[in-house]
């Protein structure tokens, strides 16, 4: 017995997406890029001229000239970043540029801007970008308009004056031949437009790659330099923490324990002499010293690794720190109950909260503090501590916030401080 098998014709492959619409959609995006390049290039060229013509002569005044140059380089970097995004949007991404790291402090920002090589390359880009953008703008606009006008020539030929001076009449061509000549020429221009536009974009990309995409430091070298800075910052922060703990131990529990030892020795002598009243007094004072030493040691342990953070996690530790603040604290902790994070992240976030609350209690004269802790969709742990005090805080003014920035650098975190005079202080940290 044989079994019949039904034979089916092989399924035809799906028809490919039409290439022509995609080609002209790409040409439209690239044409928009080229047309917008001219006003941006004008702004960049004006920035270059203003930076050089004002900043260089102002170097006589030294600080003023340096500030002008730094501001100009900052503006050039902003235009350069915009151009990198625009090129990436039309399918021509550039190699990653060397990032600028804000060192904190206005004077240090000026020095860092002047030393940042990519800013000078971004400024140099504006010099040749202006003529390139001007030529590409004129050529792009002319090519599309002339091509479209030639294809539609039969529709608007009637509007031209009939004075016998056009090319077709000079050559003695009939009107149908004249129409065919214009339509064919316009069609060829429109067919070639995507490649003409792409060639102009390549010119822009080539000059941008030389300047905007070249920082003189490879990505790996920048990572090594960043890790070196982070390691140095962490080592410095830990050394400062150890010095503070040593100082606190010497000034607090150590002095109390010395006094306790002396009181106990005196109590022994009084007890041998049979003076019970003096012995009780000395023992009572000794007990007070013991309790004071325990309280100070607990405070020091919270500054090293608070038990509640180790045992119950970040949410409980933040609530505990808020409860010990002399200023009323409102907490908003967007973490699931019992959620634990990596110990380094929890420790860094906890110290952001405690340092900010300590600074608020000491310097802000605030009536209220708000603490918010949460994790973004991209997994970044964000901590925000805001008060309604007098403001004026800055990482460069004291060791607290500066040390906190160094501690965050060890976990690739960032610290931002907004503290205008009279408008309170907002300390925010992002820990990836």
pLDDT tens sequence across 334-365: 887 777 888 778 888 888 888 888 888 888 78
pLDDT for position 42: 92
Element (H, E) at 428: strand 425-431
Mean pLDDT of 321-330: 84
The percentage of residues in the chain with a pLDDT greater than 90, rounded to a whole number, is 10
Q: Torsion angle, CA of 255/258/260/266, rounded to 10 degrees?
A: -140
pLDDT digits 0-9 by tens, 214-265: 654 455 566 666 666 666 666 655 666 666 666 666 666 667 677 777 777 7
Greatest alpha-carbon span in the chain: 141
Least confident window among 149-158, 185-194, 237-246, 284-293: 237-246
- What would the two tokens of residue 151 be? 């294809």
In this predicted structure, what is the pLDDT of residue 180? 83
Query: Which strand ranges, in their side-by-side order, compose the sheet holding 329-334?
Result: 329-334, 369-375, 381-387, 425-431, 414-418
Average pLDDT of span 190-216: 86
Pairing of strands 369-375, 381-387: antiparallel
- pLDDT over 70 (residue 318): yes
Long-range contacts of 338-345 (CB under 8 A, 24+ apart): 338/313, 339/313, 339/315, 340/313, 340/314, 341/313, 341/314, 341/381, 344/410, 344/411, 345/381, 345/411, 345/431
Residue 373, strand partner residues: 333, 383
| Predicted pLDDT of residue 304 | 59
In DSSP notation, 175-234 reads HHHHHHHHHHHHHHHHHHHHHHHHHHHHHHHHHHHHHTT--SS-HHHHHHHHHHHHHHHH
C-beta of residue 307 within 8 angstroms of C-beta of residue 367? no
Q: Do 314 and 331 meet the contact criterion of CB atoms below 8 Å apart?
A: no
Task: At 362, give phi and psi (nearest 5°).
Answer: -85, -40
**Mean pLDDT lowest for which of 99-103, 119-123, 146-150?**
99-103
pLDDT for 198: 92
Per-residue pLDDT, 196: 92
Average pLDDT estimate for 132-157: 89
What integer pLDDT is reported at residue 428 of this predicted model?
Answer: 86
CA distances from 89 to 24, 26, 102, 398 (A): 16, 11, 27, 43
Is 357 in contact with 403 (CB distance < 8 Å)? no
| Cα–Cα distance measured from residue 68 to residue 55, given in angstroms and rounded to the nearest whole number | 5
Six token digits for residue 289: 């010293």
Average pLDDT score over residue span 322-332: 85
Cα separation, 162 vs 56, whole angstroms: 60
What pLDDT, on the 0 to 100 scale, is given for residue 240?
63
Helix (H) or strand (E) holding 417, with range, is strand 414-418
9 pLDDT exceeds 60? no
Q: Could you tell me what percentage of the chain is helix, strand and coil, using 3-state DSSP and rounding each to the nearest 5?
A: 70, 5, 25
**Average pLDDT over all residues of the chain:** 77
DSSP three-state, residue 316: helix
Give the residue, 171 or 17, on which the prediction is more confident: 171
Q: If we measure between CA atoms, which residue out of 183, 80, 90, 88 comes closest to residue 140?
A: 90
End-to-end CA distance of the chain: 70
Please check the confidence at residue 132 and state whether its pLDDT lies above 90: yes
Q: Give pTM, 2 decimals.
A: 0.49
Euclidean distance between CA atoms 215 and 126, whole angstroms? 16
- What is the percent of the chain where pLDDT is above 70? 73
More confident residue, 182 or 57: 182
Which residues fall within 8 angstroms of residue 65, CB to CB, at 6 or more apart? 55, 56, 57, 58, 59
Number of helical (H) and strand (E) elements in the chain, helices listed first: 14, 5
pLDDT of 131: 92
The pLDDT value given to residue 1: 39
Mean pLDDT of 64-90: 87
Q: Residue 233 CB: number of other CB atoms within 10 A?
A: 18
DSSP label at 83? H
Q: What pLDDT, in 10s, does the model give residues 361-393?
A: 888 788 888 989 888 877 888 889 888 888 877
Distance of alpha carbon 147 from alpha carbon 165, whole angstroms = 21
pLDDT bracket for residue 11 (50, 70, 90)? very low
- Express each pLDDT in 13-50 by its tens digit: 444 444 678 888 888 899 999 999 999 999 999 988 88
Per-residue model confidence (pLDDT) at position 17: 47
Task: Select from 382, 385, 350 the least CA-distant residue to 368.
Answer: 385
pLDDT at residue 104 greater than cutoff 80: no
The answer to whether the beta carbons of residues 97 and 215 sit under 8 Å apart is: yes
Distance (Å) of CA 361 to CA 30, 324, 366: 56, 11, 8
User: Which two structure tokens, joined as six digits, stand for 254?
Assistant: 């150590």
């Amino acid at each position: 017995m044989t079994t019949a098998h039904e034979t089916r014709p092989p399924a035809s492959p799906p028809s490919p997406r039409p290439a022509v619409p995609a080609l002209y959609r790409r040409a439209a995006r690239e044409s928009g890029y080229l047309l917008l390049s001219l006003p941006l290039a004008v702004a960049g060229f004006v920035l270059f001229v203003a930076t050089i013509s004002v900043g260089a002569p102002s170097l006589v005044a030294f600080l003023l000239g340096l500030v002008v140059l730094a501001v100009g380089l900052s503006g050039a970097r902003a235009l350069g970043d915009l151009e990198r995004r625009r090129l990436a949007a039309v399918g021509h991404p550039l190699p990653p540029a060397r990032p600028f790291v804000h060192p904190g402090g206005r004077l240090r920002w000026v020095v860092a801007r002047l030393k940042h090589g990519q800013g000078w390359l971004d400024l140099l880009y504006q010099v040749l970008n202006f003529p390139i953008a001007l030529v590409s703008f004129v050529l792009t606009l002319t090519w599309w308009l002339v091509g479209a006008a030639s294809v539609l020539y039969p529709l608007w030929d009637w509007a031209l004056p009939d004075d016998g001076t056009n090319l077709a009449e000079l050559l003695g061509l009939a009107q149908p031949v004249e129409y065919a000549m214009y339509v064919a020429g316009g069609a060829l221009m429109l067919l070639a437009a995507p490649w003409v536009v792409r060639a102009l974009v390549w010119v822009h990309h080539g000059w941008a790659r030389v300047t905007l995409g070249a920082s003189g430091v490879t990505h790996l070298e920048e990572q090594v330099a960043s890790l070196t800075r982070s390691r140095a910052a962490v080592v410095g922060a830990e050394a400062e923490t150890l010095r503070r703990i040593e100082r606190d131990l010497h000034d607090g529990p150590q002095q109390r324990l010395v006094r306790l030892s002396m009181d106990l020795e005196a109590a022994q002598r009084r007890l041998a002499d049979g003076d019970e009243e003096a012995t009780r007094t000395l023992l009572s004072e000794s007990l007070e010293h013991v309790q004071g030493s325990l309280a100070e040691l607990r405070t020091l342990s919270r500054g090293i690794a608070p038990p509640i953070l180790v045992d119950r996690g970040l949410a409980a530790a933040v609530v505990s720190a808020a409860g010990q603040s002399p200023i009323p604290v409102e907490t908003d902790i967007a973490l699931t109950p019992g959620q634990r994070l990596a110990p380094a992240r929890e420790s860094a976030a906890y110290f952001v909260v405690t340092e900010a609350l300590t600074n608020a209690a000491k310097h802000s004269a605030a009536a209220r503090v708000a603490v918010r802790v949460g994790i973004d969709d991209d997994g970044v742990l964000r901590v925000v501590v805001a008060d309604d005090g007098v403001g004026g805080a800055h990482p460069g003014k004291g060791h607290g916030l500066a040390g906190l920035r160094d501690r965050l650098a060890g976990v690739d975190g960032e610290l931002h401080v907004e503290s205008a005079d009279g408008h309170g202080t907002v300390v925010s940290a992002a820990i990836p």
